[in-house]
Structure formats: C-alpha cells, structure tokens
Structure 1
C-alpha cells in the first residue's frame, strides 16, 4: 500500500515565490533619479518631474550617487523649430552649391584651354546686362523730360488761373509712377552689372589658380568649336 506524500516541497515553493518575486521586482526597478531645472530664476530639484517643467531644460542626477547622469534641452518653440529647419535647409543648399562649384571648376578646366576662351563665355551675358542698363537709363531720362513738361504745363495753367484737366492730372500721376518703376529697374540692372563683374573676376581667379596647380603635361586639350 502506497503512502500518501505530504506536499512540503510544493508548500515551500509557494511560500518562497512571493519573496523571490518581490526581490526580482526590487532588482529590476529603475534607479531613482532627481530632476533639476531653473524656474523663475531659481534652481528647482525634485524626484518627480511636474507637467509644467516638461519643456524646461533640465539635468538628471542619480539619487544614489549624486552624479549627473543626463541632460535634456528645453523644448523649442514653433518659431525656433521653423528657424532650425530653415537653417538646416540652408546648410543643405550651401553644401549642394559647393558640390556644384567643384564640378563646375573641373568642367571649366576641361573645356577652356586659355583665359581668353573663358572670357568669351561671359561676353553675351555682359552685353545683355549692359543693354538693359542703357535701355533703363534712356527710359528714365525720357520719362523725366516728359514729366517735367507736363508739370510745367500744369503750373502755367494754374498761374493763369485756368483749371488743370483731370486727364492731365492722371497723365502726370501715371508718368510719375512709371518713372519710379524705371528708376527701380535701372538700379536693379546696374546692381546686376556690378555683381556680374565680381562673378567674372572670381571665376577667372579660380581658373588661374587651378591652371597654376596643374602639371605642365596635364593641360586640358583645346575644344573644337
């Protein structure tokens, strides 16, 4: 006849299980830390981060060792995020422009044997801008003379106590507005002309530098027109 075994081992395991589980939970629990931030000019530290301080810059400090374990920057405002995005985009554009410039420099060396060959590339652009400048200057001078004539006529009519017609008043206004526009165009074209001179000189300087750095036997071959 078999004896019935007392489940002492099972009872022991059941007794120890909660303690072991508690010990494991204690071991696995994340280490406590303090949060420190500035609020209204005062340094504040707490073992819990209140909702109003979530967006503040803060330090994280180990409650056990007292050493700093981390740092969190403050949350950027919408304007600051937009500014950061714009700056990142500008950096990308600058890098792309620099890459394009390097490729352009290499192509320039391969395409133009002499500086005179390179200068001829700019002749057409220079001629177009010069023509725009001269046309704007002519238009400004012409409009100015016409406006002076109209103003003199209107002044003579007023001095002789004759009314200035609505049509003449409108013509004076329109001619003045067009004169202002043509002056703006003239200033823009003259600015473009100055910038073009700077651009040409910069490219020529780069070309001379690159040509000077090439070995004598590696000069680019002349291109066939």
Structure 2
C-alpha cells in the first residue's frame, strides 16, 4: 500500500522515467536460448520442455553476448559411467597412496638388499607358476579343440551329420581357449611389469640406504629392452 501511494505521488515525468527504467532492466535481463534441433540452430526467448535436456547457449537479448553455455543432460548410462569413473579415480588415488606408504615402510624394514630380494623372488615364483599353468592349459585346450575339429571334419567328409552336442563342444572349447590365452597374456604382462617394479624399488632402496653395493653384490634387474638377465628366472618361464 505504501509503495502504491508513493507511486501515485510521483509527477507524471518521473513516472515515465521510472517505467522506462524498469522496462530497460527487464530487457537487459531477458535471455535467448539457442540449441540444435534436427541439424538446425533454433533460438527462442522461452525454452520448450523438449529442449531442456539438450546442449544450449544462453544469450543476453539486449547485448547479443553469450552469457552461458549448458551441456546436454547425461543419460542414465552416462551418469552411471561418470560416477563409476569418479569412484575408480578415488580408489586408484587411495591405492597409490597406500602403495607408497607400504613401500616406504618396506624399504625401511629390511636390513639388507638380500632380504628384500628374497621377497621379490617369492613374488616372481608365484607369477611364473601362473604363467606355466596358463601355458599348459592353452596347449591342452588347443589339442582338444583340434581333436574335436578333426572328428567333425571326418564326419562331414563321410557325409554324416555333425551332432549338435559336438558343435556345442567345439564352441565351448574354443571360448575356453580364448579366455585362457587372455589369462596367459595377462600373467606375462604382470611378469614384465614386476621386473620394472623390482628395479625401481631396488633403486630407491639403495638411494635410501646410502652407498651403492660392492662389486660382489647382485646386479640390478635389466630395464626393458636391455640384454641383461632379470633378477630371477625359474625353469620353464622363458617367453614364447
């Protein structure tokens, strides 16, 4: 009521100025929305419901300058992937920090490089055993698959039908072979990464412990691509 009385009390000239100022302020804050629709750019001073989830630009109607840019809304699958990526990044960061602290404690716990090497050799033995097992399984599965294929081929050459069970067995054996080869490749990759990890830890261990070992001490594992032998190689682990 008080504002209404003050407004009525203003002279006519001031009322016009005030109304013009209000209109200018409203025009200055008015926005245009621009988005792509069916390959064409569409602009409007109102954003329809079907365009709310699309990428768009917001433009000041008075100045023509872009004031904001809004990305399209993510799908449920994309939001789930983004959340999974965020969680994985947190886990990776936590794992890296845990590993750094664990290695720091390990480097300070062992009295000699030889003690540290014994731990490494245990890890090497585990990975090498996994590699040997995977290689054996690959050979066994491959031989079995060849036998099944030969049997099926002989029946076809003899004009006899190949039983559905035999066809299913061939497919199952082939899938097992593919998985086992992938497992073997994973173990061999772990082995190569382990050599690099060991070399890095030994290097830092020596830096923390002081002077380099004497000439009689075992040499560092070779870096990838060099001719030197790794720290330890168990029988039957040579790469094919």
TM-score (norm 1): 0.58
1:94 to 73, 92, 95: 92
2:194 to 194, 200, 203: 200
Match of 2:237 in 1: none
Runs of 5+ unmatched residues, structure 1: 1-9, 156-169, 218-225
What's the C-alpha RMSD, in Å, of the aligned pairs? 4.5
Deviation string 1:186-211 (CA, Å, 9 cap, x unpaired) is 75775565345324312322223323
Match of 2:39 in 1: 41
> Which structure 2 residues correspond to residues 59-70 of structure 1 after superposition, within 5 A?
59-70=57-68
Q: Which has the larger radius of gyration?
A: 1
* Residues 189 and 118 (structure 1), Cα distance of their counterparts in 2 relative to 1, 3 Å cut: farther
Does the CA contact (< 8 Å) of 1:108 and 1:207 recur in 2? no
Instruction: Report the Cα distance in structure 1 between the residues aligned to 2:187 and 2:3, rounded to whole angstroms.
Output: 92
- Which structure carries more relative contact order (alpha carbon 8 Å, separation 6+)? 1
Does the CA contact (< 8 Å) of 1:129 and 1:192 recur in 2? no
Deviation string 1:109-146 (CA, Å, 9 cap, x unpaired) is 112243322221133344445556666777876xx79x
TM-score (norm 2): 0.55
Instruction: Report the Cα distance in structure 2 between the residues aligned to 1:106 and 1:187, rounded to whole angstroms.
Output: 36
1:16 is the counterpart of 2:5: yes
Does the CA contact (< 8 Å) of 2:31 and 2:59 recur in 1? yes
Match of 2:78 in 1: 80
Q: CA deviation at 1:97?
A: 2.1
Runs of 5+ unmatched residues, structure 2: 10-14, 155-164, 212-240
- The count of corresponding residues between Structure 1 and Structure 2 is 184
* Residues 59 and 186 (structure 1), Cα distance of their counterparts in 2 relative to 1, 3 Å cut: closer
* Residues 209 and 181 (structure 1), Cα distance of their counterparts in 2 relative to 1, 3 Å cut: same
Match of 2:208 in 1: 214
* Residues 127 and 69 (structure 1), Cα distance of their counterparts in 2 relative to 1, 3 Å cut: closer
Q: CA deviation at 1:88?
A: 1.3
* Residues 65 and 207 (structure 1), Cα distance of their counterparts in 2 relative to 1, 3 Å cut: same
Instruction: Report the Cα distance in structure 2 between the residues aligned to 1:211 and 1:46, rounded to whole angstroms.
Output: 66
Does the CA contact (< 8 Å) of 2:57 and 2:70 recur in 1? yes
Instruction: Report the Cα distance in structure 2 between the residues aligned to 1:74 and 1:136, rounded to whole angstroms.
Output: 47
Q: CA deviation at 1:71?
A: 1.5
Does the CA contact (< 8 Å) of 2:131 and 2:188 recur in 1? no
Deviation string 1:135-166 (CA, Å, 9 cap, x unpaired) is 6777876xx79xx8xx99xx9xxxxxxxxxxx
* Residues 36 and 50 (structure 1), Cα distance of their counterparts in 2 relative to 1, 3 Å cut: same
Does the CA contact (< 8 Å) of 1:136 and 1:185 recur in 2? no
- Which structure dedicates a bigger proportion of its chain to helix? 1
